């Protein structure tokens, strides 16, 4: 019997997932254990694998099979729904890949590798003019790419780029919510910094690296990260990557003088990792067995890092355990510790920002990259525009571009449309956590006893189980009763910091 169109699609999906998984593992190795002299060979191996994956995805026979499989009547019930969702997701990926000409793909790859190199040098020397030609080139190529992909109906060019990270999200939907968010965040920051700062003197000193590592390894299984289906290692920049629900890698980083950097990195990456471990095993060979979007992925990491990991009940339970590894902390009261890990500061660097100021950093980047893509802002004018918005949003000015518009790697890769997914993650995290609290009375009392299983089970059922079968916002709407909103984040931040910072 000849292979049916659906069987062809199924086989292509399995092959694609295998190729992507192999490439992900090679990238993980590159960031963790690859010897310095292996770099050149690794780049070739990755290029070869990614090339194969691209060929499979753009294969005209797959296009025909997708058309034929979509034309027939699908099976009834859940099986038919899953099949329709897989066809839609694969068609989405394929359309984006097919529409971008090979020349443009290669030009982008070259501009990215040159861009990152130029950015490192420019940041080192705080030399923005040296980066201008590279950033201009990347912007031009991304605009070309967006036009090749096609502007979604009723949308704009930036939407085509945003769609690559957050399927279905549009500027018209996102911009008003982010602007409302900055509207109430700015006065909240004002209130926090006007109050006496919390005492965090006990976090200064030297903290044994092995002891820090041991605590993170004790924390992981307690949270619900399955060490038989994943592992933790160290890397310069923490990240997570999932090859399969049975093989998820996360990393953390350790600093002697910053004892909590490792703890919060581990919490963050464990959130990403538990999402990957919770993706349905029946979809491990399907396009549906992936996170729904960058924003929803980030909601899982931020939920564990902040809503759980920066809560008082968490530290009531965990501080004695942490102090067993780091005895300098044994005299500290959980309430004082909680205040110290929730210090609000006007700071220049996004990745070090607290949860109150963080979204202001993101809003600034979103406004600027939107203006760049729209053509309303010239690349050469970026530092001035950055400083002006930084003053307006956070009341501070970077002393030099290295601490301003040169601080993030994203634009050096031409990754326009990615930054807003960080705020989407925070917004979704607050809404999901509020819904979990409503559904699970006494949820946070359990944190004090080190019990996180009910929360993880709720996330498994309401978020992880969907994989990529629905758009992120629909998953959140089904779980919380409403779609994207800033109201839950507002209630959470104003409630928590209103109580912590009383002037």
Catalytic residue numbers?
Answer: 269
In the complex, minimum distance from the CB of residue 298 to Zn ion, in angstroms, rounded to a whole number: 5
In order of 186, 313, 340, 406, the CA distances from 494 in angstroms are: 12, 18, 17, 31
Map tokens 């919060």 to a residue.
Answer: 264
Element at 453 (helix H, strand E): helix 453-462
Least separation in angstroms between CB 412 and Zn ion: 19
Contact 73, 120 (CB under 8 A): no
Which residues are bridge partners to 230 per DSSP?
Answer: 248
Tokens of 276: 């990957």
Residue 364, exposed/middle/buried by CB under 10 A (0-12, 13-18, 19+)? buried
User: What would the two tokens of residue 208 be?
Assistant: 């044994």
Rounded to the nearest 10 degrees, the angle between the axes of helix 382-394 and helix 171-194 is 50
- Give the shortest CB-416-to-Zn ion separation in angstroms: 18
Which one of 10, 232, 301, 431 is in contact with Zn ion (CB under 5 A)?
Answer: 301
Write down the least CB distance from residue 272 to Zn ion, Å.
Answer: 6
Of 286 and 357, CB closest to Zn ion: 357
Say which residue the tokens 């929730």 belong to. Answer: 342
Task: Name 251's bridge partners.
Answer: 233
| CA 389 to each of CA 174, 332, 345, 374, 392: distance values in angstroms, whole numbers, following the listed order | 19, 39, 17, 18, 5
Q: Which is nearer to Zn ion, 264 or 386 (CB)?
A: 264
Q: Which is nearer to Zn ion, 212 or 301 (CB)?
A: 301
Is residue 249 left, alpha or beta, with left meaning phi > 0 and alpha meaning psi from -120 to 50? beta
Residues in 16-35 at the binding interface with Zn ion, rule: CB under 5 A: none
Q: Which stretch binds Zn ion (CB under 5 A): 141-149, 301-309, 405-413, 473-481?
A: 301-309
Is residue 252 within the footprint of Zn ion (CB under 5 A)?
no
Q: Name the token pair of 397.
A: 């000015």
Of 142-150, 300-308, 345-353, 492-500, the window that binds Zn ion (rule: CB under 5 A) is 300-308
Binding to Zn ion (CB under 5 A): which residues in 85-114?
none
241 or 301, CB closer to Zn ion? Answer: 301
Span 280-299, contacts to Zn ion by CB under 5 A: 298
Which one, 244 or 298, has the nearer CB to Zn ion?
A: 298
Binders of Zn ion among 421-480, rule CB under 5 A? none
Q: How far is the CB of 121 from Zn ion (least distance, A)?
A: 27
Which residue is closest to Zn ion by CB? 301
Question: Which residue in 299, 280, 240 sits closest to 469, CA to CA?
Answer: 280
Give the count of residues interacting with Zn ion (CB under 5 A): 2
207 vs 225, beta carbon nearer Zn ion = 225
What DSSP string describes 348-387?
Answer: S-GGG--TTTHHHHHHHHHHHHHHHHHTSS-GGGHHHHHH
> Which H or E run contains 241?
strand 240-244
CB of 150 to Zn ion, least distance (A): 29
Q: Using CB under 5 A, list all residues that contact Zn ion.
A: 298, 301
């Amino acid at each position: 019997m000849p292979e049916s169109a659906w069987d062809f699609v199924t086989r292509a999906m399995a092959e694609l997932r295998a190729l992507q998984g192999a490439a992900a593992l090679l990238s993980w190795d590159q960031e963790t254990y690859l010897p310095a002299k292996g770099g050149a060979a690794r780049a070739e191996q990755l290029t070869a694998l990614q090339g194969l994956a691209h060929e499979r995805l753009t294969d005209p026979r797959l296009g025909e099979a997708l058309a034929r499989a979509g034309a027939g009547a699908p099976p009834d019930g859940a099986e038919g729904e899953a099949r329709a969702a897989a066809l839609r997701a694969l068609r989405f990926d394929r359309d984006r890949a097919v529409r971008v000409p090979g020349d443009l793909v290669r030009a982008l790859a070259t501009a990215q590798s040159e861009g990152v190199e130029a950015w490192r040098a420019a940041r080192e020397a705080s030399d923005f003019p040296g980066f201008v030609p590279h950033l201009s080139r990347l912007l031009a190529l991304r605009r070309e790419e967006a036009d090749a992909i096609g502007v979604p109906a009723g949308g704009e060019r930036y939407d085509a780029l945003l769609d690559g990270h957050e399927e279905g999200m549009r500027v018209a939907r996102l911009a008003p919510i982010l602007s409302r968010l900055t509207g109430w965040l700015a006065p909240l920051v004002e209130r926090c910094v006007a109050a006496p700062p919390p005492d965090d003197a006990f976090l200064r000193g030297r903290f044994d690296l092995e002891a820090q590592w041991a605590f993170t390894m004790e924390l992981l299984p307690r949270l619900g990260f399955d060490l038989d289906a994943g592992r933790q290692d160290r890397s310069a920049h923490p990240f997570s990557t999932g090859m399969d629900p049975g093989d998820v890698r996360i990393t953390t980083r350790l600093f002697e003088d910053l004892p909590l950097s490792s703890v919060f990195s581990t919490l963050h990456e464990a959130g990403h990792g538990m999402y990957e471990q919770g993706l349905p095993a029946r979809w491990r060979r399907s396009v549906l067995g992936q996170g729904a979007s960058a924003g929803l992925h980030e909601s899982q990491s931020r939920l564990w890092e902040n809503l759980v990991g920066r809560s008082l009940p968490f530290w009531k339970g965990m501080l004695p355990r942490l102090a067993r590894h780091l005895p300098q902390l044994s005299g500290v009261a959980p309430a004082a510790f909680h205040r110290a890990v929730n210090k609000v500061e006007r700071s220049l660097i996004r990745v070090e920002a607290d949860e109150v100021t963080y979204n202001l950093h993101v809003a600034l980047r979103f406004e600027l990259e939107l203006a760049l893509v729209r053509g309303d802002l010239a690349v050469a004018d970026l530092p001035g525009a950055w400083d002006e918005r930084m003053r307006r949003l956070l009341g501070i000015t970077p002393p030099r571009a290295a601490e301003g518009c040169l601080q993030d790697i994203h634009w050096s890769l031409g990754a326009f449309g990615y930054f807003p997914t960080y705020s989407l993650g925070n917004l979704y995290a607050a809404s999901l956590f509020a819904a979990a609290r409503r559904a699970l009375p006494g949820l946070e009392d359990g944190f004090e006893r080190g019990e996180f299983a009910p929360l993880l089970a709720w996330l498994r059922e309401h978020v992880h189980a969907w994989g990529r079968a629905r758009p992120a916002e629909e998953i959140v709407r089904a779980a919380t009763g409403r779609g994207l909103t800033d109201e839950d984040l507002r209630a959470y931040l104003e409630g928590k910091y209103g109580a912590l910072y009383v002037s």
